[in-house]
A and B are shown apart, each in its own frame.
Chain A
Amino acid sequence: MTVFVARRLALLALSLLGASVLTFALLRLLPGDAATSVGGITADSAQLRAIRHDLGLDRPLLVQYWTWLTDVPTGDLGNSQLNGSSVTDELGEKLRVTGPLVLGALLLALAFAVPLGMLAAVRRERRDATVISVASQLGIALPTLWVGLLLILLFAVQTPLLPAQGFPVDGWADPGEAVRSLVLPTLTLALSEGAVLLRFVRSATLDVLHRDYLRTARAAGRTRTGALLRHGVRNAAGPVLSMLGVQVAALLVGAIVVEKVFTLPGVGSMLVADVGNRDLVKVQGEVMLLVAIVLFVGFLVDVAQRLIDPRLADVRRPEVSA
């Protein structure tokens, strides 16, 4: 197990390095740079050159990359090219919005997707299961943007229960207000991601329902639910767990949309604004953070798989099968 974890961690670091090269190179292909943003339409080409020099944009790309990369391990993601603020600090601030949003949506999605998905599988010929199935299909089909707008209309504008947009200016100073402004965004994100998850739980459960071990367990006197909970869940958890790993990436992408709909100052809206302003040092930091989260979740899923399913340990090259 230790060797496995060490190998996976090494792979994670290597992937991050690869991602950093790709991010850095691809961003330089965009037309315009931070100097264009700073100069706007008042600067002539001589002034632009001077601004570019001040910002260090006229240094060779490799030097720029190396300077940035060597600071990353110390937790320093550089400074904004437009206002000099620390990227690490700002990401920290923004994570206080995006973190609760994504985690909340994940937990909420699990909370309704797992029981409802199992129910839909177990009672698949009954009417209630059909209702669940149709509802989840609908949840997948509806765009996140539209769900968000609908929720705002229903619970903020027509019935003013919750804020229509935004996050308190003083952040979490008043936790009640902060939570209230995250309710609708979290719900929006959870509904669309949960619907996908629900389908997966349902098919994974259906799969184990027909297995011999479940029939044997029932023959040994367990009820169907009892057999399912004792033997089925653990077996169904494997595929659902790998799906979860993928879903975290989907949640982060979904968060960008949700943050825009609700005007939330999170990592997603920060990323969109910084790409527009060509504040590329900030964009690098943001993309690296998102990539790191997705890779790290993938790593956790791999480890969890091994703990749930001991059979995986027997495979010779665990990092491939895992």
Chain B
Amino acid sequence: MRRSALRIAAALALAGPVLAACGSGGTPTPGATGADTQPPAPADSALDPNATAKVRLVLEPTSLNLTTTAGVAVEQVLLDNVYQGLLRVDTNADNKIVPALATGFETSADGLTHTFHLTPGATFHDGSPVTAEDAAWSLQQVLAPGSKQPNAKSLATIANVAAPDQATVVITLKQRDTNLTWALTQRVGVVYKKGTDFTKLDAAENGTGPFKLDGWQRGSAITLVRNDAYQGAKAKVAKVVLSYIPDRNAANNAQATGQTDIETAAEATLLQPFTGNDKFTVLRGTTTDKYTLAINNAKAPLNNPAVRHAIRRAIDKDALIKTLGGAGVRLGGPIPTSDPGFQDLAAIDPHDAAAARKTLADAGVDNLKLTLKIPNIYPAAIGDVLVADLKEAGIELTVKQQEFTAWLSEVYTARDYDLSLVNHAEPHDIANFATPGYYFGYDNAQVRDWYAQAVAAPDERTRTDLLTRIGRRVTEDAAADWLFQAQTLTVVRKGVSGAPQHHTSSRLDLATIGITK
């Protein structure tokens, strides 16, 4: 994971302002909107096996091909549901890595050889068995020279993938890589049938998951049907309709009038129809959505750490979270609550406009004028709050809202910006601060070194310790500002159980959803 991907492309729009409680580290705040747990699922005999579950999503994918198109929108639909890798993550257990197409694996003492054992009985949707050859072939395609698969670099430490027998896959590494197992839970780890034509994946799927792709009504919905031949726990509903409803009011209306059973990414400020209404439950979930204020470290006068600290001190994050409806937590640093290396860093650069003003004066910077580039999918209120906060510190901020594609071109690729705000939704993306070419413009030799050590760490504890150090150093360097980590609100109709609750914008396990008879 040299160059970890932040597949915000989607999650930003998804997450929107889903803020309903402030606290720290994701701990529930009493009295805040949303429940942390759902009632236990009823026995399968009480569920209707022929039911259709209708789920509201926000951002429609532009393609159904995981090997070509970046962005979380496509992963949200396809990973876990249609396609699987050897491993997957459990979103209900802080993204813990758990078995999928492999029942388990062993690592050699030197950490260079991982041996995976395939789950017996697993089949592709065309009925053919999943073999070690298929798994090895799929990984080899990601590694092939000239591979354009998104995030292919996250497997760069692999030297060789072999299939000594039909049920065993052996991955040999060039060097230790503590990120490998995580990478295998992501899209680069998906197992395709050997010989799959990757250019045709938009038209035909042959996955291994509990659902098959039924249809895509572009601009409207994607439908999945249960894979009755699935070897594991079968999906509890026969069909799922994923309706793309970007508008928050329209989504609320759809949920309130029964057009949908589950509304993901509900707007915190518009929950009145559902709270205190026993026909609905509002679930509050964790995300890794880091609303990141990038400060162009490579551009004067922002290359002066004092100026960056002043900007950070000028911003009142608690007030911002409140303005957006309250479903967010203070973050302080670059690592989200459910990732290894998290610590609460909110004490670094606490809000103090006067101190910010003084820091700027001491640095000899006056009359500072900056422009913030922000994709127009985020609430305009964020820009308003930042303008007011920075004004108090004597900084004149101009907000330039732009389309996400324009942001990608101007900020991400051309690095033409002072300040930028996007939701970096991807988990495990601290590598961005150890990648000098990244758009943050941040480069610290010590951080790069620590990161290399963390990747090659002999054990989990050493790794976590190094990541914690990186998080602190990056924050002390004011490499960026992390305004908040969003929480996600999901509205569930009564009679629907097993709804996805956490990390819903990137992984959405639909197989557990049940509808009472």
* Residues of A participating in the B interface, judged by any CB pair closer than 8 Å: 30-33, 36-45, 47-48, 50-51, 54, 82-85, 90, 93-94, 149, 152, 156-157, 160, 163-167, 169, 171, 260-263, 265-266, 269-270, 273, 276-279
**Contact across chains for A32 and B60 when beta carbons are under 8 A apart:** no
**Contact across chains for A169 and B220 when beta carbons are under 8 A apart:** yes
24 contacts between A and B (CB under 8 A): A31-B406, A32-B408, A37-B9, A39-B70, A39-B408, A40-B9, A40-B69, A40-B70, A40-B408, A41-B70, A44-B437, A84-B203, A157-B256, A163-B259, A165-B254, A166-B254, A166-B259, A171-B217, A263-B247, A265-B219, A269-B219, A273-B60, A278-B405, A279-B62
Report the minimum CB–CB distance from B6 to chain A (whole Å): 5
**Contact across chains for A42 and B7 when beta carbons are under 8 A apart:** yes
Q: Given that A42-B7, A169-B241, A171-B217 are contacting pairs, would A32 and B409 also be in contact in the complex, using a CB cutoff of 8 Å?
A: yes
**Contact across chains for A164 and B254 when beta carbons are under 8 A apart:** yes
| B160 lies within 8 A of chain A by Cβ | no
Q: How far is the CA of A270 from the CA of B68 in the complex (A)?
A: 22
| B513 lies within 8 A of chain A by Cβ | no
**Contact across chains for B5 and A41 when beta carbons are under 8 A apart:** yes
Report the minimum CB–CB distance from B142 to chain A (whole Å): 13
**Contact across chains for B405 and A94 when beta carbons are under 8 A apart:** no
**Contact across chains for B70 and A45 when beta carbons are under 8 A apart:** no
Most buried by B among A40, A50, A169: A40
Q: How far is the CA of A157 from the CA of B69 in the complex (A)?
A: 38
Report the minimum CB–CB distance from B241 to chain A (whole Å): 6
Within 8 A of A (CB), among B185-222: 199, 202-203, 215, 217-221
Q: Given that A44-B3, A165-B245 are contacting pairs, would A261 and B62 also be in contact in the complex, using a CB cutoff of 8 Å?
A: no
**Contact across chains for B219 and A94 when beta carbons are under 8 A apart:** yes
**Contact across chains for A164 and B70 when beta carbons are under 8 A apart:** no
**Contact across chains for B218 and A265 when beta carbons are under 8 A apart:** yes
Which residue from B68, B146, B243, B408 sits with its C-beta under 8 Å from A36? B408
Query: Which residues on the B side are within 8 Å of A157 (C-beta)?
Result: 253, 256-257
Report the minimum CB–CB distance from B377 to chain A (whole Å): 9
| B326 lies within 8 A of chain A by Cβ | no
Name which residue of chain B comes closest to A277, CB basis: B62
**Contact across chains for B254 and A276 when beta carbons are under 8 A apart:** no
Query: Which residues on the A side are within 8 Å of B406 (C-beta)?
Result: 30-32
Report the minimum CB–CB distance from B259 to chain A (whole Å): 6
**Contact across chains for B64 and A83 when beta carbons are under 8 A apart:** yes
Query: Which residues on the B side are within 8 Å of A43 (C-beta)?
Result: 70, 150
**Contact across chains for A31 and B409 when beta carbons are under 8 A apart:** yes
**Contact across chains for B413 and A164 when beta carbons are under 8 A apart:** no
Q: How far is the CA of A43 from the CA of B70 in the complex (A)?
A: 8
Name which residue of chain A comes closest to B217, CB basis: A169
What 3 A-B pairs have minimum CB-CB distances, sorted nearest first?
A: A40-B70, A32-B409, A265-B219
**Contact across chains for A42 and B405 when beta carbons are under 8 A apart:** no
**Contact across chains for A41 and B408 when beta carbons are under 8 A apart:** yes
Name which residue of chain B comes closest to A83, CB basis: B63
Name which residue of chain A comes closest to B71, CB basis: A40
| B412 lies within 8 A of chain A by Cβ | yes
**Contact across chains for A165 and B202 when beta carbons are under 8 A apart:** no
Q: Given that A82-B63, A90-B218, A166-B254 are contacting pairs, would A42 and B150 also be in contact in the complex, using a CB cutoff of 8 Å?
A: yes
| B250 lies within 8 A of chain A by Cβ | yes
**Contact across chains for B202 and A83 when beta carbons are under 8 A apart:** yes
Query: Which residues on the B side are within 8 Å of A50 (C-beta)?
Result: 146, 148
Which residue from B218, B257, B412 sits with its C-beta under 8 Å from A93? B218
Query: Which residues on the B side are within 8 Å of A48 (C-beta)?
Result: 413
| B397 lies within 8 A of chain A by Cβ | no
**Contact across chains for A41 and B259 when beta carbons are under 8 A apart:** no
**Contact across chains for B6 and A41 when beta carbons are under 8 A apart:** yes
**Contact across chains for B69 and A82 when beta carbons are under 8 A apart:** yes
Most buried by A among B8, B148, B259: B148
Report the minimum CB–CB distance from A73 to chain B (whole Å): 25
| B297 lies within 8 A of chain A by Cβ | no
Name which residue of chain A comes closest to B403, CB basis: A276
Report the minimum CB–CB distance from A162 to chain B (whole Å): 10
Query: Which residues on the A side are within 8 Å of B245 (C-beta)?
Result: 165-166, 263
Q: How far is the CA of A278 from the CA of B71 in the complex (A)?
A: 15
**Contact across chains for B247 and A260 when beta carbons are under 8 A apart:** yes
Name which residue of chain A comes closest to B424, CB basis: A41
**Contact across chains for A165 and B250 when beta carbons are under 8 A apart:** yes
Query: Which residues on the A side are within 8 Å of B151 (C-beta)?
Result: 42
Q: Given that A83-B63, A156-B253 are contacting pairs, would A38 and B219 also be in contact in the complex, using a CB cutoff of 8 Å?
A: no
**Contact across chains for A45 and B249 when beta carbons are under 8 A apart:** no
| B65 lies within 8 A of chain A by Cβ | yes
Q: How far is the CA of A39 from the CA of B409 in the complex (A)?
A: 11
| B404 lies within 8 A of chain A by Cβ | yes
Name which residue of chain B comes closest to A149, CB basis: B249
Q: How far is the CA of A51 from the CA of B60 in the complex (A)?
A: 21
Query: Which residues on the A side are within 8 Å of B6 (C-beta)?
Result: 41-42
Query: Which residues on the A side are within 8 Å of B146 (C-beta)?
Result: 50
Query: Which residues on the A side are within 8 Å of B5 (C-beta)?
Result: 40-42
| B504 lies within 8 A of chain A by Cβ | no
Q: Given that A31-B409, A279-B62 are contacting pairs, would A84 and B148 also be in contact in the complex, using a CB cutoff of 8 Å?
A: no
Report the minimum CB–CB distance from A26 to chain B (whole Å): 15
Report the minimum CB–CB distance from B378 to chain A (whole Å): 14
**Contact across chains for B68 and A38 when beta carbons are under 8 A apart:** yes
**Contact across chains for B404 and A276 when beta carbons are under 8 A apart:** yes
Query: Which residues on the A side are within 8 Å of B202 (C-beta)?
Result: 83-85
Name which residue of chain B comes closest to A54, CB basis: B148
Most buried by B among A84, A260, A279: A84
Query: Which residues on the A side are within 8 Å of B244 (C-beta)?
Result: 263
| B91 lies within 8 A of chain A by Cβ | no
Name which residue of chain A comes closest to B63, CB basis: A83
| B123 lies within 8 A of chain A by Cβ | no
Name which residue of chain B comes closest to A273, CB basis: B219
Query: Which residues on the A side are within 8 Å of B148 (C-beta)?
Result: 47, 50-51, 54
Name which residue of chain B comes closest to A278, CB basis: B405
Q: How far is the CA of A261 from the CA of B315 in the complex (A)?
A: 35
Query: Which residues on the B side are within 8 Å of A54 (C-beta)?
Result: 148
| B48 lies within 8 A of chain A by Cβ | no
**Contact across chains for B7 and A164 when beta carbons are under 8 A apart:** no
Which residue from B259, B405, B409, B410 sits with its C-beta under 8 Å from A276? B405
Q: Given that A37-B405, A44-B437, A171-B217 are contacting pairs, would A165 and B150 also be in contact in the complex, using a CB cutoff of 8 Å?
A: no
Q: Mark B470-492, 1 if CB is under 8 A from A, else 0.
A: 00000000000000000000000
Given contacts A93-B217, A277-B405, 16 further A-B contacts (CB under 8 A): A36-B413, A38-B69, A40-B5, A40-B71, A42-B70, A45-B413, A82-B62, A83-B202, A84-B202, A84-B203, A85-B218, A263-B250, A265-B217, A270-B218, A277-B62, A278-B405
Within 8 A of A (CB), among B229-257: 241, 243-247, 249-250, 253-254, 256-257
Q: How far is the CA of A277 from the CA of B408 in the complex (A)?
A: 11
Query: Which residues on the B side are within 8 Å of A39 (C-beta)?
Result: 70, 150, 408
Query: Which residues on the B side are within 8 Å of A269 (C-beta)?
Result: 219
| B168 lies within 8 A of chain A by Cβ | no
Q: How far is the CA of A160 from the CA of B255 in the complex (A)?
A: 13
**Contact across chains for A156 and B257 when beta carbons are under 8 A apart:** yes
| B223 lies within 8 A of chain A by Cβ | yes
Query: Which residues on the B side are within 8 Å of A40 (C-beta)?
Result: 5, 7-9, 69-71, 150, 408
**Contact across chains for A32 and B405 when beta carbons are under 8 A apart:** yes
Name which residue of chain B comes closest to A45, CB basis: B413
Query: Which residues on the A side are within 8 Å of B65 (C-beta)?
Result: 83
**Contact across chains for B62 and A83 when beta carbons are under 8 A apart:** yes
Which residue from B3, B71, B220, B257 sits with its C-beta under 8 Å from A167? B220
Query: Which residues on the A side are within 8 Å of B253 (C-beta)?
Result: 152, 156-157, 164-165
Report the minimum CB–CB distance from A97 to chain B (whole Å): 9
